[in-house]
Copies of this chain bind each other. A is one copy, B any other.
């Protein structure tokens, strides 16, 4: 009986795959997705570039792996920040998640750009990324749900032409919540990334200087907008 369940080869494959991703992530963090080079990764790992194709069939596949990891890293950061204030009020929890997203983005700008910036060259995200991408959204939904089951939500009514879509979204995302809240939640979710992206991509340069209080206030208003109080 062997101590390496699937054999040494399978074990090595896992390690090499991880090493490739690590080195790729290093280059991504250092230079951005566009300058991520398979040949450079292979060179740094002491292997020849063609050998790398045994692990990732193309550059896009490597990027996809990095994208999923980035979504999960962001999701974990947001979840950790939320859990740290799980006892606090719903607005405070909402703010904590938003600030965690911003902090993660500022700490991993190229990875953030990879997942929330413009998609890389002709690249379209495969279905595989969906579960990881949803983590932050699910967190926000959970906060709003807690508030709904606790102190309740205060939402303004929706226009008539939005009722069908609002009901559809609600059925898909959170059937137990009022459509007004779900609609506001989805919009706030997108708006959060507008705030983060503008800061990260330099649109706030020479416009907003002291960004923490600005961001905090903005996401607090988002929280009120979804009905939290």
Contacts and interface: CB of A to CB of B under 8 A. Distances in A.
A226 to B, nearest CB: 11
A190 B169 contact: no
A197 B195 contact: no
A34 to B, nearest CB: 3
Interface in A110-127: 113-114, 116-122, 124-125
- Copies of the protein in its oligomer: 2
A118 B201 contact: yes
B209 A121 contact: no
Interface residues of A, number: 57
A122 B207 CA distance: 22
Contact of A201 (B32, B116, B162, B173): B116
Contact of A183 (B32, B133, B217): B217
Interface string A204-228: 1011111001100110010001000
Contacts of A203: 116, 133, 190, 193
A133 B204 CA distance: 12
Nearest to A222: B191
Contact of A119 (B194, B202, B218, B225): B202
Contacts of A133: 203
A164 interface: yes
Contact of A121 (B34, B125, B168, B184): B34
Interface of A: 31-32, 34-35, 113-114, 116-122, 124-125, 130, 133, 156, 158-159, 161-162, 164-165, 168-169, 172-173, 183-184, 186-187, 189-195, 197-199, 201-204, 206-210, 213-214, 217-218, 221, 225
List the 5 shortest-distance A-B pairs measured between CB atoms, nearest first.
A194-B194, A117-B118, A113-B118, A34-B121, A191-B191
13 contacts: A34-B34, A116-B197, A117-B201, A118-B201, A159-B213, A165-B213, A169-B207, A172-B206, A186-B214, A194-B195, A194-B197, A197-B197, A225-B225
Given A190-B198, A190-B218, A225-B225, 9 more contacts: A113-B118, A116-B201, A156-B221, A169-B207, A173-B207, A186-B207, A187-B218, A192-B194, A221-B225
